[in-house]
Structure formats: C-alpha cells, structure tokens
Amino acid sequence: MEFIASSINQRIVRISAHLNPPPNSQMEGSCGLLRRGNCRAKGGSPGFKVAILGAAGGIGQPLAMLMKMNPLVSVLHLYDVVNTPGVTADISHMDTGAVVRGFLGKEQLEDALTGMDLVIIPAGVPRKPGMSRDDLFNINAGIVKTLCEGISKSCPNAIVNLISNPVNSTVPIAAEVFKKAGTYDPKRLLGVTMLDVVRANTFVAEVLGLDPREVNVPVVGGHAGVTILPLLSQVKPPCSFTVEETEYLTSRIQNGGTEVVEAKAGAGSATLSMAYAAVKFADACLRGLRGDAGVVECAFVSSQVTELPFVATKVRLGRNGVEEIYPLGPLNEFERAGLEKAKKELGGSIEKGISFARK
C-alpha cells in the first residue's frame, strides 16, 4: 500500500516538475526523467551533440524537429530567448534516439553550448516585404556577436553553421569574434547557403523536366541578390540552356528569398524550405565529422579562391569541418560578368561585418 502511494506521489511530483521547471533550471526531455531515476534504460544513441540557437523561431522549430529525426544526433540542445519550454516538451515526445534539452535566456547559453560538436544558428529577425537582407544588419549583427562569444567560451571546437542574415556580413562578424577570443578556426565556420542550391536544383529541374533529386547546381558567391551566382554551365547532369532560360533561372534563384518574403506578406521569410536546407547541410557536416568520404556541398567560407576573404564555393567536409575548398571552375561569359557584380557587393558586406566586430 505504502509503496503504491509513494509511487503515485513520485509520479505526481515528476509530472509537475516537468510542467513547471524551477526558474533557471534547464528544461529536459526524456533525460530529465532519467536523472530522477524513473526510467530503466539510458535514452539516446551514439552520435553527435548539436545545439540550435534560435530554436523557437520560424526556422528553429522545424529544424529542431528534423534534427530530432536525424540518426547521427544523440543530444539536441534547443536554445532561444523565448518559448523553448514548449518547443522542447513537444519535440522531446518524438520516439527517435536524440535526447532533447531546452535552454531559455542568456544565463543558460553556456549550458546550452557546453560539449557541442555542431552549433546551428538561425537566431535573429527575418525580412518583411521591401527590405533587403542588409536591413537586418543592425539587429542581427549584435545577436550573432553575442552567440559567437558564447561559442568561443563554451565549445570553441564546434563546427558552426550560420544561417542568420545577412550571411555575407554575419560570417565575417563571427570570424572576428572568434579571432578576438583566440579560438578562430576558419575550417569550422560555415555560412549556410544551401537554400540557394536547393532552390536552384528545384527550378532547374522544372525547366529540364527532371526529378530535382537528380539535379545538382553549384551556387557560388554569397547569399543576397546578385551575390548569389548559380553556375548553370556546371549543372549535373550536364545540360545546356538557352539565353532566355539562363536569364530566367539566374534571376529566379537570386530572388528566391524575396519571392517567399512577398508571398508571406509580412509574416516572415523562408522557414520550412530553410529548415530542410539547414538539415541537409548539417547532415553533410555530421557525415564529414564521422569521417565519410566525398561529402561536398556549397558554403560561404573563409577562402582564397577569389581576392575576397570569404566566398561561397563547393567545399569538401570532413573530420575538421572544411577540408578542401574547390576553385570556381570554368565560367562562361555570363557567369564571369555575374561574378564581377557579385564580388563588388560582397566586398562591401564583408567589410561592414568586419568593421562592426572590430569596433
């Protein structure tokens, strides 16, 4: 009788602790129950530890869901300045291997980051119609700076996937923060331009009448307007385009983000396709970390491929992050002209990020 009563009491305590975590305690998914001794088996699976910063946002939530489904992830930390208790409780009920923990507010940033192998950052404000990505600089630059200071302190060896816009400036900011802290490893800092590749594959497949999963379009340069440069001459499988097709595709790929911002009419920018792209890219980084051979994706990284300090190109991912940076390859006249335009804008955005961080 006593045993049953105490067991029921324990359960009530357990449920109320889960619903009302004490202030400043980290919220936990299944592992909170494990710590209190109510489960027999160890949760989680062998794999990598991944943190998402900005996990309660439009990208963060579907990204968290998809990362919880990724068999390479054993521990998933969800950090935001709002709403992580709900998102964590929700996602932690998925019966996949990764253990989920939630962290709320700056005082929990250190715990969120300690021990992480990969940190994905979609924190920051999105565009509204009429805005450029650069219009987000004033708010997002400071957010990225603070989060990167946390990374330097708590997981300086983690691979960082930076999604927050303007990527062309936030990646240089992150690099400067890491340099200042003495933790900078250019191989481990990657701006996420995967959505440009995902869009390019989709739009090119539409024009060619192919399955988008069979198409691979390298997209180089940066992640804003004319800095987004699809290399249609290097599409796989090999194919050719008319001048009209080239112009249409280049413009659609460069303006894909604006297409979504306008369709959402003030409710934000791409979130679902971005979460898909972010997971595709994060999975490639984790496969690289695991030691898989031949993992090649496009990303915005520190590079000597052009005269600019950062550019998006194809990179090979491995145990240390970026193991190899590929040259741009043979460009046609249209692409050479596009590259010149891209470099002009990109240089200014990179410089803006560097000056902000050095202030």
Ligand X SMILES: O=C(O)C[C@H](O)C(=O)O
Rounded CA-CA distance 49/262 in Å is: 36
Pick the closer one to ligand X by CB: 58 or 150. Answer: 58
Q: Is residue 260 involved in binding ligand X (CB under 6 A)?
A: yes
Distance CA 70, CA 279 (A): 9
Supply angle C-alpha 237, 241, 244, rounded to 5: 150
Which residues does the annotation place in the binding site for substrate? 127, 133, 165, 199
Q: How far is the CB of 196 from ligand NAD (least distance, A)?
A: 7
CA 106 distance to own-chain centroid? 20
Q: Which residue, 78 or 274, has its beta carbon nearer to ligand X? A: 274
267-286: which residues touch ligand NAD (CB under 6 A)? Answer: 268-271, 274
CA 359/CA 60 separation, integer angstroms: 30
Residues at the binding site for NAD(+) are 54-60, 80, 140, 163-165, 274
- The number of residues in the chain equals 359
53 versus 260: smaller Cβ distance to ligand X: 260
167 lines the binding site for ligand NAD (CB under 6 A): yes
Q: What is the 3-state secondary structure (H, E, C) of 179-203?
A: HHHCCCCHHHEEECCHHHHHHHHHH
Is residue 173 involved in binding ligand X (CB under 6 A)?
no
At 295, list the tokens: 């993992």
Cα 136 versus chain centre, distance: 17
Burial class (CB in 10 A: 0-12, 13-18, 19+), 238: exposed
- Rule CB under 6 A: is residue 297 a binding residue for ligand NAD? no
Roughly what angle, to the nearest 10 degrees, separates helices 167-181 and 333-358? Answer: 40
Q: Does 261 bind ligand X (CB under 6 A)?
A: yes
In terms of C-beta density within 10 A (0-12 exposed, 13-18 middle, 19 or more buried), how is residue 304 classed? exposed
145 touching ligand X, by CB under 6 A: no
Q: Which stretch binds ligand X (CB under 6 A): 86-94, 125-133, 140-148, 341-349?
A: 125-133
Q: Does 235 bind ligand NAD (CB under 6 A)?
A: no
d(CA 192, CA 195): 8
**Residue 80 touching ligand NAD (CB under 6 A):** yes
* Residues of the binding site: 54-60, 80, 127, 133, 140, 163-165, 199, 274
Phi, then psi, of 183 in degrees rounded to 5: -115, 10
- Give the residue nearest to ligand NAD (CB): 57
Of residues 102-131, those binding ligand NAD (CB under 6 A): 122-127
Residue 56 binds what, of ligand X, ligand NAD, none (CB under 5 to 8 Å, by partner type)? Answer: ligand NAD
Does the active-site annotation cover 223? Answer: yes
Q: Which does 261 bind (CB under 5 to 8 A by kind): ligand X, ligand NAD, none?
A: ligand X
Question: What does 123 interact with, of ligand X, ligand NAD, none (CB < 5 to 8 A by kind)?
Answer: ligand NAD
Helix and strand numbers (H, E) in the chain are 12, 12
Rounded to 10 deg, the angle between the 243-254 and 333-358 helix axes is: 10
Q: Do you find a cis peptide bond into 166, omega within 30 degrees of 0? A: yes
Residue from 99, 141, 195, 198 touching ligand X (CB under 6 A): that is 195
Choice between 30 and 314, CB closer to ligand NAD:
314
Indicate whether 65 belongs to the interface with ligand NAD (CB under 6 A): no
- Where does this chain bind ligand NAD (CB under 6 A)? 53-54, 56-60, 80-82, 122-127, 136, 140, 143, 146-147, 163-165, 167, 192, 195, 223, 268-271, 274
Instruction: Show which residues are catalytic.
Output: 223
Task: Point out which residues bind ligand X (CB under 6 A).
Answer: 126-127, 133, 165, 195, 256-257, 260-261, 269-270
